[in-house]
Chain A
C-alpha cells in the first residue's frame, strides 16, 4: 500500500518536474524566440512612408519611390511603400499642421516648410541646415510657355506687359509656384528699370493682362493647355517640359533672359517620424535624393540636379541661363511674404486697383 502510494507520488513528482523543466525551457527560449520573431517581422513587414508634396512633382516621385524601394530592399531586406499626396504647396503644409501623417514633406518653397515649425512645432527651427544645398536636392526655375510657333512673338518678360497679350499664372495667395512667378517678374523689372516703384508698375501692368487666377500651378497649366486660355503661361520649368511632352507640337518653351532660382526644399517631419518610428528610413529616403540615381531621376523629370555630373548630362534640356536666388533679390521668404503677399502688401495693391 505504502509502496504503491510512494510510486504514485513519484510519478506525480516526475510529471511535475517534466512540466517545470518544459516551462523553464520555454522561458529560456522566450527571449530568443522574441528576437527571432521581431527580427523576421522587421525584415519582412513593409514599412510605409508618406511623402506630402506639391502639385508638379507627381511624376518625379512615382519614379523616385520605385528606385528608393529597390535601394532600401537591397540595403536592408525590408520592403518600403511610399505613399504620395499632392496639392497646392500651402494647402499641403496646412494639412500636415492639421494632422496629415507625413513622414517627409517635399514642398515648393521654404516658407511653407517654415509654417510646420511656426504653427505646429513639428520640426526644429534649423531644419534647412540639416541637408546639403539648403535642403533642396534639386532646383527649378520659371520659364514662359507659348502657343505653337509663338504667334505673339514673346521672347522675354517685357513682352508680357504688351497690350493684347493674355498671361496665365496662378494666384500667389494660394500657389507657391505663383509666388516664384511674381518675384521673378518683379526682380527682372527692378534690374532693368532700376527702382522698386518701376518694378511695381511693371508687375501691375503684367497682372492687368491676367484674365484668370487659378489656385495652383497644375490648374494654370490645364487652363492654358487643355482649355486653350491665354497666349503665354508663366510656369515651372519642369511643368513646361511636361506640357511639351503631353501636348507635343501645340506649345513651345521660351527661356527669358533672366529668371529666379527656385529651391523646393525637403525635410523629415520630426514629430511624426519619432512617433511612428520611421526616422531612419525617412532620412535615408531624403538622402537618396542626393545620390547619383536620385539626381539622375530629378534631371530626367526636368528638375535641375544639384550634382555636377547630372547637370552635365541634362544640359541640353535644362540650358544654363542667368539665375538669381530669392535671398539675393528679396532677402528671405519671410521678407518677400511681408513685402508682397500678405494682406495689403504689393500684390493686393496692384491687383485690387484693376
Chain B
C-alpha cells in the first residue's frame, strides 16, 4: 500500500503549495526574522562582545589560570557524566521500548523526572543528602570523603540533570523500529549480546549519537544545579558557566563573553553534528527506498514519513 502512495506523493512535491506568492514570501520572511532576532543576533552579540578588546585580550581571557581550570573541570565533568548516561540511557530505552512489564509507565515517567524538576531543586537534593547537615554528612565527614562542594557533587548534579537526554532520544526510535529484527536474530541463534551489537546498535546508532551530543551540550552548559553544589571556589570548583557569571559580575564583560563564546561554539558544533547525523540517517533510509519493492516495501513508509520533503 505504501508503495502505491509513494509515487503520487512524489509527483506532487515539485509543484509545492497552492498559496499565492506573497503569502509564501511573508511566511518565510517572518520565520527568517524570528530566527535572526532570537538565534543569530545573540550569537553575533556574544562574539562581538568577546572580541571587543581585540584577539589578544580574547586569547588572554581563555589562558588565564582560573579560566583554564574552569574549562578543565567542565570537560572532566562531561567525560564522566556522558558515558554514565550513555549506559543508563541505552539500558532504560532498551527496557522501555522492547519489553512489556509492570511499572513500565512509571519507569518512563521517572526517566523524565529530571526534565520536570527545577535544576535548583536537583542541586539541593544532593546538599540535603551529602551536606554536612544532611543524611550522610556526618558519616562522609568522619571518613574524610568530600562530595558536595567538590568534583563528585558537580558530576552527580550533572548526571541527574542530563539523565533523560539519551533515553528520550532513543525510546521513540526503538519503539518505531519494533523488535521484529531482534526476534529474527534470536531465532537464528544469536546471543543477547550479539543481537544488541549487530542488530539493535546499528539501527539506533545515529539517534544514539545525537543523544550523546545533546547530553554533552547540556552537561557542559548546566548552570543551576551545579551552582548549588559547587561552593564557587575559584580555580577549583568553578565550571565554565559559573566562571562566565563570575567574570560578568566582576565587570570583566569581554572576558566573560570570551568564555561564553566557547559555549556558543559548542552549540554550533552540536548543531553541525546533528545535521550530519540526520543527513546520514536520511541517506540510509533513501538507500532502503531505492531497493527493489519486495525488500523495500516494509521500509518505504518509514522512509517517507521521516522525510516529508521526499
Contact = CB atoms under 8 A, between A and B. Distances in A.
B233 A99 contact: no
Contacts of B236: 83
Contact of B233 (A50, A58, A246): A50
A218 B148 CA distance: 25
A99 B149 contact: yes
Contacts of A226: 251
A50 B233 CA distance: 8
Contacts of A59: 250
Interface residues of B, number: 22
A83 B249 contact: no
B234 interface: yes
A21 interface: no
Interface string B202-229: 0000000000000000000000000000
A98 B148 contact: yes
Contacts of A83: 233-236
A85 B233 contact: yes
Contacts of A84: 233-234
Contact of A101 (B149, B246, B250): B149
A85 B133 contact: no
A119 B133 contact: yes
B232 interface: yes
Contacts of A87: 232
Contacts of B297: none
Given A58-B250, A98-B148, A99-B149, A85 B132 contact: no
A98 B134 contact: yes
Given A119-B133, A222-B249, A246-B251, A99 B141 contact: yes
B131 interface: yes
A100 B127 CA distance: 11
A85 B127 CA distance: 17
A95 B133 contact: no
Interface in A152-197: none
A120 B146 CA distance: 17
Contact of B232 (A86, A119, A218, A246): A86
A123 interface: no
Contact of B132 (A50, A98, A218, A246): A98
B146 A101 contact: yes
B42 interface: no
Given A98-B132, A99-B149, A119-B133, A85 B232 contact: yes
Interface string A139-161: 00000000000000000000000
B231 interface: yes
A58 B131 CA distance: 26
A50 to B, nearest CB: 6
Contacts of A219: 249
Nearest to B251: A246
A97 interface: yes
A95 B149 contact: yes
B234 A120 contact: no
A86 B148 CA distance: 17
A190 B231 CA distance: 40
Contacts of A246: 251
B137 interface: yes
Interface string B106-133: 0000000000000000000001001111
A85 B236 CA distance: 10
A119 B148 CA distance: 18
A99 B142 CA distance: 12
B232 A99 contact: no
B120 to A, nearest CB: 12
Contacts of A222: 248-249
Nearest to A242: B251
Contacts of B231: 85, 95, 100
Given A84-B234, A85-B231, A100-B149, A218 B249 contact: yes
Contacts of A95: 149, 231
B71 to A, nearest CB: 18
A222 B245 CA distance: 12
Given A84-B234, A85-B234, A100-B231, A120 B133 contact: yes
B249 A98 contact: no
A95 B130 CA distance: 12
A274 to B, nearest CB: 13
A185 B231 CA distance: 33
Contacts of A99: 130-133, 137, 141, 146, 148-149
Contacts of A100: 148-149, 231, 233
Nearest to B131: A98
Contacts of B137: 98-99
A83 B230 CA distance: 14
A148 B236 CA distance: 40
Contacts of B134: 98
Contacts of B250: 58-59
Contacts of A55: 249
A345 to B, nearest CB: 25
A105 B40 CA distance: 44
Interface in B133-152: 133-134, 137, 141, 146, 148-149
A100 B234 CA distance: 13
Interface in B61-115: none
Contacts of B233: 50, 83-85, 100
29 contacts: A50-B233, A55-B249, A59-B250, A83-B234, A84-B234, A86-B232, A86-B246, A95-B149, A97-B132, A97-B133, A98-B127, A98-B131, A98-B132, A98-B133, A98-B137, A99-B132, A99-B133, A99-B141, A99-B146, A99-B148, A99-B149, A100-B148, A100-B149, A100-B233, A120-B132, A120-B133, A219-B249, A222-B248, A226-B251
Interface of A: 50, 55, 58-59, 83-87, 95, 97-101, 119-120, 218-219, 222, 226, 246
Closest 7 pairs (CB-CB, A-B): A99-B132, A98-B131, A100-B231, A100-B149, A85-B232, A246-B251, A85-B233
